[in-house]
């Protein structure tokens, strides 16, 4: 029998900056609220995408002026100043709020919050979404009480001393939001086929210029080779939106039957998951978990600059299980476009292969991950 929260607790989620870090936290928050009275606060960065995601979820948000490690070399004073301000502002907030637990979501914005929680002896949980732990979680690991991983293979290392207390590590899967889990049953009930083949393009919550450019170039070269009408649904990110929108307009002038839906960021992404015949995406762990839940055949373009090459390792995990195929981003853009075009045109002609990929995706999915994490958090609070 699952434990519940018997009286009102304050629970703080630390970190963010991108949807990949925030959305698993929102999924866990939904489950904690369902299990009892609790007051949820997200403490993280002041990035606009984070504020947009938290605002749409309805939770309280405390933005902090923290800086990533990329600032450490190019702007060390700003790095120290912002993170010091974030630490002391968080410390004051935690003293006032008295949370039962702080849940670190990874990313640079989680560091000052978890450090402040550690100094105040507040229990700490870390969520690790990727096959390879991020720098923030590796740094914070010795301070934590519990780490919930999305992959059973995720390695954590710690230097042992006589005073070392090893955190508990639990494989839970990557938490996904209720609306995505519920979308699975909607998809199973949907029997109305579309007259257009739908391709969903995702570059992550911040967009990916290289993915955007490769998709446009691929369409310019391969659109005539794709049989039947096509609907491109493209999440560009804010910076690239105007440029990509204009390029789609030029494509539509030459291909009037091409339908296009292009936005910087989709708040209703689950609806596009349901309609997608094929997805082109970066290989962020949270996006992959959501695609697996709905069962979307996917072509993955791992970000070559990801820490520890974790996106390539995420992609290989799915590709090795027949759930996705990989189109590596080459330094020569023509090679990327050619590989992407050949992969897309082949998959659109192979209905059975896409069906098998869809099935393999759903076999990887762990729809109860958010509830599992919430149960582990409640057990930690009750100790």
Point out the annotated binding site for UDP-N-acetyl-alpha-D-glucosamine. 18-20, 130, 177, 205, 311
342 to 278, 301, 331, 339, 349: CA distances (angstroms): 14, 14, 18, 5, 11
C-alpha to C-alpha distance for 54 and 19, rounded to whole angstroms = 10
Among residues 127, 147, 65, 60, the alpha carbon closest in space to that of 99 is found at 60
Instruction: List, as residue ranges, the binding site.
Output: 18-20, 130, 177, 205, 311
Helix pair angle (310-320, 285-294), 10° resolution? 20
Residue 139 phi/psi, 5° resolution? -65, -40
CA distance 24 to 105: 8
Say what the alpha-carbon torsion angle 236, 239, 240, 242 is, to the nearest 10 degrees: 110
CB-hemisphere CA count at 13 Å for 96? 7
CA distance 160 to 134: 20
- The three-class DSSP label of residue 175 is coil
Which among 101, 10, 48, 15 is positioned nearest to 286, based on CA atoms? 15
Q: Is 196 helix (H, G, I), strand (E, B) or coil?
A: coil
- How far apart are the C-alpha atoms of 342 and 176, rounded to whole Å? 32
Whether the CA torsion 227, 262, 105, 29 is positive or negative: it is: negative
End-to-end Cα, the chain, rounded Å: 17
Q: Please, is 173 exposed, middle or buried when counting C-beta atoms within 10 Å of its C-beta (0-12, 13-18, 19+)?
A: buried
């Amino acid at each position: 029998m699952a434990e519940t929260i018997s009286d009102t607790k304050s629970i703080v989620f630390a970190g963010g900056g991108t949807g990949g870090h925030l959305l698993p936290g929102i999924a866990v928050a939904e489950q904690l609220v369902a299990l009892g009275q609790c007051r949820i606060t997200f403490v993280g960065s002041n990035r606009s995408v984070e504020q947009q995601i938290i605002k749409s979820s309805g939770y309280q948000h405390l933005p902090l002026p923290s800086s990533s490690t990329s600032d450490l070399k190019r702007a060390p004073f700003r790095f120290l100043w912002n993170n010091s301000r974030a630490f002391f502002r968080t410390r004051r907030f935690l003293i006032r709020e008295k949370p039962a637990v702080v849940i670190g979501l990874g990313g640079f914005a989680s560091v000052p919050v978890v450090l402040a929680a550690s100094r105040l002896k507040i229990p700490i949980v870390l969520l690790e979404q990727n096959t390879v732990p991020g720098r923030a979680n590796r740094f914070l690991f010795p301070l934590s009480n519990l780490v919930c991983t999305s992959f059973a293979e995720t390695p954590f290392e710690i230097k042992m001393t006589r005073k070392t207390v090893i955190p508990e590590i639990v494989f839970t899967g990557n938490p996904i939001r209720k609306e995505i889990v519920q979308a699975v049953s909607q998809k199973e009930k949907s029997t109305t086929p579309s007259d257009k083949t739908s391709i969903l393009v995702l570059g992550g919550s911040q967009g990916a210029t290289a993915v955007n450019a490769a998709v446009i170039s691929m369409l310019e070269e391969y659109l005539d080779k794709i049989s039947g009408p096509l609907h491109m649904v493209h999440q560009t990110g804010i910076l690239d939106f105007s440029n990509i929108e204009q390029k789609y307009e030029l494509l539509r002038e030459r291909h009037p039957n091409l339908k296009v839906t292009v936005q910087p960021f989709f708040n209703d992404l689950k609806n596009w998951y349901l309609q997608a015949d094929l997805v082109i995406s970066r290989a962020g762990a949270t996006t992959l978990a959501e695609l697996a839940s709905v069962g979307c055949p996917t072509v993955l373009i791992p970000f070559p600059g990801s820490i520890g090459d974790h996106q390539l390792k995420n992609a290989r995990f799915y590709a090795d299980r027949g759930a996705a195929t990989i189109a590596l981003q080459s330094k020569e853009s023509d090679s990327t476009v050619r590989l992407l075009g050949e992969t897309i045109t082949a998959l659109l002609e192979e209905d059975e292969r896409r069906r098998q990929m869809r099935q393999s995706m759903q076999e990887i999915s762990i729809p109860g991950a958010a509830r599992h994490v919430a149960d582990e958090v409640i057990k930690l609070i009750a100790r």
